[in-house]
Amino acid sequence: NAGVTQTPKFQVLKTGQSMTLQCAQDMNHNSMYWYRQDPGMGLRLIYYSASEGTTDKGEVPNGYNVSRLNKREFSLRLESAAPSQTSVYFCASNLGGYEQYFGPGTRLTVT
């Protein structure tokens, strides 16, 4: 089992460009999450999907959109990237309980 995988690992964007961060899990988990981690800020929830076909906003959703493509895949889209979105992005999943399993992260820089 690969667990939670994320692509790409690194990305540099210019202000105004768009991109999609991909996440997939092979653990048959129902729920999936997107977080961002900034220095000194811990992990903050952007969006989550409690089950296939549903998505909900987290603490910091502005500037992002998500798609739960199927049970395995949950993507995060930046329509018009801004320097404030420079961060490390983590995808996570779980069966709907408490313990979440995290991917390795995508390091995004917006210049």
Partner 1 sequence: DQQVKQNSPSLSVQEGRISILNCDYTNSMFDYFLWYKKYPAEGPTFLISISSIKDKNEDGRFTVFLNKSAKHLSLHIVPSQPGDSAVYFCAASQAGTALIFGKGTTLSVSS
Among 8, 16, 83, 96, binds partner 1 (CB under 8 A): 96
User: How far is residue 61's CA from residue 66's CA, in Å, rounded to a whole number?
Assistant: 10
User: How far is residue 61's CA from residue 99's CA, in Å, rounded to a whole number?
Assistant: 22
Question: Which range binds partner 1 by CB under 8 A, 15-23, 67-75, 79-87, 91-99?
Answer: 91-99
Which is nearest to 2 in space by CA: 20, 28, 21?
Answer: 28
Positions 26 through 55 that interact with partner 1 (CB under 8 A): 33, 35, 40-45, 48
Name which of 27 and 41 has its Cβ closer to partner 1.
41
Rounded to 10 degrees, what is the CA torsion of 18, 53, 101, 40?
40
Residue 41: CB minimum distance to partner 1, A: 6
Compute the chain's Rg from CA coordinates.
13
Query: What are the φ/ψ torsions at residue 84 (nearest 5 degrees)?
Result: -65, -15
Residue 63: CB minimum distance to partner 1, A: 19
Residue 104: CB minimum distance to partner 1, A: 5
Q: By CB under 8 A, tell whether 100 contacts partner 1.
A: yes
Name which of 18 and 54 has its Cβ closer to partner 1.
54
